Structure formats: structure tokens, C-alpha cells
Amino acid sequence: MGTGRLGLSPVGVGWRPELALAIDRHVEVGFVEIVAEDIDPWGDIPAPLTLLRQRGIPIIPHGIGLSLGGAEPLETARLRHLARLATLFDAPVVSEHVAFVRAGEREAGHLLPLPRTFAMLDVLVENIQMAAQHLPTPLALENIATLVEWPGAEMDEATFLSEALRRSGARLLLDIENVYANARNHRFAALDYLDRLPLERLSYVHIAGGVERGGVYHDTHAHPVIPEVLALLEELCARTEVPGVLLERDDQFPGIDELAQELESIGAAMRRGDMRRRSAACECSC
């Protein structure tokens, strides 16, 4: 597969202090992501991150608190923080979510979905463009998993996301588990969703584990990746060249062996999809 457009090699892990040892010593990791809000770029940088940087492992700042889909203008202090991290780690890209996390004086503590209306799209695109002006690197937007749907949608999720990318010029961070979660919980066809995205804008992919509770699939980042999500990743890789896939784990951290095994399953799904794509391309040209 080689390295992709961002210089990423295929499989990465979301860097967390609890996984630092496994990432540093025992696991072949192509790239990592840091949660932007957890690192102070003007303060102490965790030593394991400095070591990864010295080894030439790409580090991508991943924001969770910008509220790109918020109705209020973005906070410049948060943008300065993200920009500084990007410069400090010489990041190839910075990523954030198509979501809002606060309104007025209230914080959600998590990513909340946006109403899929034209009015929302205007505000979202304006916010993305403002963010892009402050950042030294391209910005990639991530689709979120949502348990609650807004009434009065004027378009479906694939259209909303594609339009936001097209109009803002941003890149795509596709969370394949979130596609699975939303398709399952809100009953749409995941493959159709993939087929309608501008995959030429794809920067990298997120994958994570989840669990079903009471008939609803929850994107927990605390459980192993389920086979259905790996199958969807294979489908994605059969459709386009995927520069890199990053595993997110935020709780109930696995041991070193379990983490290595999980990364191996991800790599295997990527290779299967990649082979299908290559053989299809070969059949076409032969």
C-alpha cells in the first residue's frame, strides 16, 4: 500500500497517556493523533510524543471543542491553540468534527449533531472558512455518530457532509464506525452513503469499537472494533485508496497484545479492500 498523500503509513492509533507505552515500545504505528484540548502547546509536551516526533511518526492534532457547527462565531483562542499544535508537531493536517458542543453558556461535553438544513450549512461553511484562515495546515472534517436526529431535515447526511466539504474546500476525515452506527440506528444504507461522498477529499479514516444496548448501537471507543465495521472498512478500501486508518480507544484500554491484534485486523481489512480495488481496476484495463 505504501504511504499515502499525507505521508501516513497505513495504520495509526489515537495517542492517549494510557496507550503511550504500547505505542512507543510494542506496536508498529504509522501515525498518531492527539486530542488537541488535552495538550498545552505552550506548556509541557509529554515526553513520549517528543520521542515519536523524533522517530518521524506524523502527529495529527484532533480537536473536539471548537464547535464548528455552533451558531456562535468560533473562539479565536481555541483556533490559536490548534494552530500552535499543528506548527509545533509539523502536522500534515488538523481535524475537527461536523458538530456543535456548546450553545450560549452551556457545554454539552460531547459532539452533538447539526440540523441538516441549508441555513445550518451556510453557518457551518462560514465557520469552517474562518477556521481554515487561522490554521497553517489543511483542515479535515469528521462525520459524527449521533443518537438523536433533528426534525425537519432538508437533506440526508451524505448530501449535507458532501456540500459542506465542496463549499468550504475542507478535506474529509471519514469515521467509518460512525457511518456504521448512524446507518444502523437511523436506518440508511451505509454503502450508498460511501458511494455519495467526495472520496477524493479523503485525508484519513477513523475506526473504533462500540456496543449494542437496548437495540441501539453506541459508539463507545471502549470496546473492540466489531466485524461489521471492519467489513465496511474493506468496502471503503475497495472504492478508493485510503491514506491511513486510525484506531480510537478512549476507555477500558486494551493490553499490548490485544491492541496489536486489533491493528492487525484493521490492516488485513485494508489489504482485502485494496486487493479488490486493484483487481477491479486491472479487469477494466485488460
User: Applying CB under 8 A, which of residues 72, 154, 257, 264 lies at the interface with another protein?
Assistant: 72
The one among 2, 44, 189, 286 contacting another protein by CB under 8 A: 44
Segment near another protein (CB under 8 A); pick from 82-90, 131-139, 148-156, 229-237: 148-156
Query: DSSP letters along the chain, please?
Result: ----TTS--SEEEE--GGGHHIIIII---SEEEEEGGG--TTSPPPHHHHHHHHTT--EEEE-SSS-TT-SSPPPHHHHHHHHHHHHHTT-S-EEEESSEEEETTEEEEEEEPPP-SHHHHHHHHHHHHHHHHH-SS-EEEE----S---SS-SS-HHHHHHHHHHHH--EEEEEHHHHHHHHHHTT--HHHHHHTS-GGGEEEEEEE--EEETTEEE--SSSPPPHHHHHHHHHHHHHS----EEEE--SS---HHHHHHHHHHHHHHHHHHHHHHHHHHHHHH-
Site map (CB under 8 A) of another protein, residues 91-130, x = contact: ---------x-xxxxxxxxx-x--x---xx-xx--x----
Q: CB of 100: closest distance to another protein in angstroms?
A: 6
Q: Which is nearer to another protein, 51 or 280 (CB)?
A: 51
Decide if residue 89 touches another protein (CB under 8 A). Answer: no
Q: Does 211 bind another protein (CB under 8 A)?
A: no
Residues at the site binding another protein, with contacts judged by CB under 8 A: 37, 40, 42-44, 65, 70-72, 100, 102-110, 112, 115, 119-120, 122-123, 126, 146-152, 214, 216, 218, 251
